[in-house]
Amino acid sequence: MQEDKAPMTSDHSKLKIPHVLTVAGSDSGAGAGIQADIKACAARGVYCSTVITAVTAQNTVGVQGVNVVPEDFVGEQLKSVLSDMEVDVVKTGMLPSIGIVNVLNQSLREFPVQALVVDPVMVSTSGDVLAGPSILAGFREDLLPLADIITPNLKEASALLGGQQLETVSDMRSAAKLLHDMGPRNVLVKGGDLPDSLDAVDVFFDGQDFYELRSSRIKTRNTHGTGCSLASCIAAELAKGSPMLQAVKVAKRHVESGLDYSKDFVIGNGVQGPFDLLFRLKSYAQNSWRQVGFNPNDLFLYAVTDSRMNKKWGRSITDAVGAAIEGGATIVQLREKDVETQGFLEAAKACLKICRSHGIPLLINDRIDVAIACDADGVHVGQSDMPARIARTLLGPEKIIGVSCKTPEQAHQAWIDGADYIGCGGVYPTNTKENNLTVGLDGLKAVCVASKLPVVAIGGISASNACSVMQIGVPNLKGVAVVSTLFDRESILTATRELHVVLQEAASMSVQRTH
Ligand SMILES: Nc1ncnc2c1ncn2[C@@H]1O[C@H](COP(=O)(O)OP(=O)(O)O)[C@@H](O)[C@H]1O
Ligand SMILES: Cc1ncc(COP(=O)(O)O)c(N)n1
Ligand SMILES: [Mg+2]
């Protein structure tokens, strides 16, 4: 393999995408093998092509069958990809026959790549043989000397070394050294299966120094595929140009957080469930995730919290939100301007629980980081906050994004940027926002008419003027957003109910008018 990395772009006008080729077996249960490799590379932002060496019938119970792909056809796949697609790094997994090892060896000599990552898969965690002892000589003689790194687990390291038992970190160090003598530039002995170990310890040896890489051991049955994913993450980081130790560290951290994400999911009836790097399970784990998708009618009675008002009336934010929902609020936005981040996050998590139990969306004002950390339903941003287009990239396609707009131009931009709704105001003067320009009912109407997005009116709206706001007669005005009208009151519940009645009357009047 080449020592120095070639520049990522030969022609600067084109973007060269980092590319990993995985040469591995298919796992029908999709926890390990090719399926794990594609997910890991996708999660690391690297293109992944695939040469399939075997198709396994496999689930959480074990491996029920293996169908090995003829070596000539493995060779044909290798040639197709390597001759055309500018592969940076090759990663190998299940190599079920000595013939396939030979074919791979020849291909790598014909089409050299920047790095070779060898995960010497032999036995699945369920104990089923994926590559028999006959493969050992091929690994030792042909593949290991070409490898930039090999990533055996304890059993595989032991098999490669002729069967010696590995039970401690010190045994792992000796094994790493002996394996290094077989030719690979770097060795990572993985300790996922180390008995009596509180941490998940892997030993990395670069021929000079040993590194013990530790992470906390996640309590989960879903560990099927950690090895394949780790090797693919290493390959992906190398393809991006990382030095080896850095690639290994990032990969280990990535696997750890993937295990944490997917630790609670229940897939299959066997002892070992698939691990998954792509699922964001927090909302599933709460078992009460909101229906994905934004319903503009949720803007009907939009409650915006205010920490100063809660302080003044001596109530917690959760009590305030609970009362507003009970009174008929249809969406809640947390707008906490003077609380510290940690307190805000805790409050947001608690409010999210309440909102989810009532099927009410919860948005966070301005703080995209807090919205991501608590997995809120979305954010509301002002004109000088994070631009909606960037918020969309950070939050993903399904979260709700609202933007404050005063003009038709801003409303148009919000639509282009991928927002879901706009908040237009201040309609009337208000104490909650200093120096806020008032647009009045005419300004509101102009924005609504120009906007392709649903609109919620905000600013100085109360039970006494909400009816005139809703009667401006534009179909995309979906509701009113209020702060002091609900939260600067003795009883939030009563205040919300009052406003709800007014809004319902306004809605029924406009229905009558259109019939
Ligand atoms: N329960 C766990 N918590 C945290 N990390 C783990 C856990 N199990 C395995 N790992 C890590 O996952 C990677 C794969 O390790 P291992 O399970 O030993 O390999 P294999 O899947 O090839 O048997 C290693 O970095 C290991 O430390
Ligand atoms: C096709 C294929 N490749 C690799 C593994 C090893 O994965 P694990 O060690 O997590 O069982 C597997 N079970 N199946
Ligand atoms: Mg494992």
Which of 212-216, 277-281, 392-396 bottoms out in mean pLDDT, i.e. has the lowest? 277-281
Cα 435 to middle of ligand 1, angstroms: 57
The answer to whether residues 384 and 438 belong to one domain is: yes
pLDDT at 3: 44
Cα(243) to centroid of ligand 3, in Å?
25
CATH number for position 354: 3.20.20.70
Among protein residues, the one with the nearest Cα to ligand 1's atom 11 is: 192
Q: Is there a single domain that holds both residue 269 and residue 306?
A: no
Which ligand places an atom closest to the C-alpha of 220? Answer: 1
| Residue 6 forms part of a structural domain | no
**Quick one: pLDDT at residue 6?**
45
Query: For residue 207, what pLDDT is reported?
Result: 97
The minimum-distance atom of ligand 1 relative to the CA of 155 is 23
- pLDDT band, very low/low/confident/very high, at 265 (cuts 50, 70, 90): confident
The residue whose C-alpha atom lies closest to atom 20 belonging to ligand 1 is 227
The number of the ligand nearest the C-alpha atom of 58 reads: 2
Cα-to-centroid distance, 488 and ligand 3 (Å): 56
Provide the token pair at 110. Answer: 């014909």
260 lines ligand 1 (CB under 6 A): no
More confident residue, 396 or 322: 322
- Distance (Å, rounded) from C-alpha 407 to C-alpha 414? 11
Choose one of 26, 228, 275 to mutate for the ligand 2 pocket test, by most ligand atoms within 8 angstroms of C-beta.
Answer: 228
Q: How far apart are CA 507 and CA 299, in angstroms?
A: 13
Q: What is the pLDDT of residue 292?
A: 60
> Is-contact 377 399, C-beta < 8 A?
yes
- CB-ligand 1 contact for 77 (6 Å cutoff): no
Least confident window among 144-158, 179-193, 433-447:
433-447
Token pair of 495, please?
């205040």
Same domain, 121 and 265: yes
Same domain flag for 228 and 340: no
Same domain, 253 and 323: no
Q: Are residues 494 and 354 in the same domain?
A: yes
Final residue of a domain: which of 226, 245, 279? 279
Ligand whose nearest atom lies closest to the CA of 154: 1
From 74, 94, 124, give the residue whose CB has the most ligand 2 atoms within 8 Å, as the site to mutate. 124
**Helix (H, G, I), strand (E, B), or coil: what is residue 351?**
helix
pLDDT above 90 (res 396): no
Q: What confidence tier does 213 reach under pLDDT thresholds 50, 70, 90?
A: very high
Choice among 19-28, 212-221, 432-441 with the minimum mean pLDDT: 432-441
Residue 301 sits in the same domain as residue 223: no
Residue 125 CA, closest ligand 2 atom number: 11
Q: Is the pLDDT of residue 218 over 80?
A: yes
Say how far apart CA 412 and CA 408 lie, in whole Å.
6
In a domain, 289, yes or no: no
For residue 287, the model assigns a pLDDT of 43
With respect to residue 468, please indicate whether it lies within any of the assigned structural domains: yes
Atom of ligand 2 at shortest range from CA of 34: 1
Taking the C-alpha atoms of residue 314 and residue 319, their distance in angstroms, rounded to an integer, is 10
Residues 399 and 250 reside in one and the same domain: no
pLDDT tier for residue 285 given thresholds of 50, 70 and 90: very low
Domain of 171, CATH number, reads 3.40.1190.20
Q: Which pLDDT score, from 0 to 100, does residue 512 have? A: 66
Q: At residue 283, does pLDDT exceed 70?
A: no
For ligand 1, whether the C-beta of 202 sits within 6 Å is yes
Query: What is the interface pTM, i.e. ipTM, of the complex?
Result: 0.93
Residues 227 and 254 in one domain: yes
pLDDT tens by residue, 56-106: 999 999 999 999 999 999 999 999 999 999 999 999 999 999 999 999 999
| Number of domain units in the chain | 2
Residue 10 has pLDDT above 70, yes or no: no
3-class secondary structure, 427: coil
Question: Which pLDDT does position 100 carry in this prediction?
Answer: 97
Q: Which atom of ligand 2 is nearest to the CA of 227?
A: 10
Ligand 2 neighbours by CB, cut-off 6 Å: 24-27, 32-33, 56, 58, 93-94, 121, 124-125, 130, 224-225, 227-228
Half-sphere exposure of 447 (CA within 13 A, CB side): 31
Segment 259-268 mean pLDDT: 89
Distance CA 179, CA 184 (A): 8
Is the pLDDT at 124 greater than 50? The verdict is: yes
Mutate to test the pocket of ligand 1, among 190, 232, 234, 260 (most ligand atoms within 8 A of CB): 190
8 A C-beta contact, residue 302 and residue 481: yes
DSSP assignment letter at 465: T
Res 123: pLDDT: 80
Q: What confidence tens digit (pLDDT) does each residue in 455-464 have?
A: 999 999 999 9
Domain extent for 366: 296-514
Strand partners, 281: none
Residue 439 lies in a domain: yes
- With respect to residue 226, please indicate whether it lies within any of the assigned structural domains: yes
Q: Give yes or no: residues 152 and 237 share one domain.
A: yes
Residue 9 lies inside a defined structural domain of this protein: no
Which segments within 131-198 are labelled E, that is strand?
149-150, 186-189
For residue 437, the model assigns a pLDDT of 87
List, by residue number, the catalytic residues. Answer: 190, 223, 225-228
258 lines ligand 1 (CB under 6 A): no
pLDDT at 379: 98
328 shares a domain with 266: no
pLDDT in tens, 427-454: 999 877 667 789 999 999 999 999 999 9
Ligand nearest to the CA of 55: 2
- Quickly tell me which residue has 């996922």 as its tokens: 192
Rounded CA separation 118/108 (Å)? 13
Asked, for residue 287, whether it belongs to a domain, the answer is: no
Q: Is the pLDDT of residue 290 over 60?
A: no
Is 1 part of any domain?
no
Question: By the 8 A CB rule, do 217 and 199 touch?
Answer: yes
Taking the model in full, what pTM does it have? Answer: 0.79
Distance (Å) from CA 168 to ligand 3 centroid:
17
Q: Which atom of ligand 2 is nearest to the CA of 119?
A: 4
Mean pLDDT (the chain) is 92
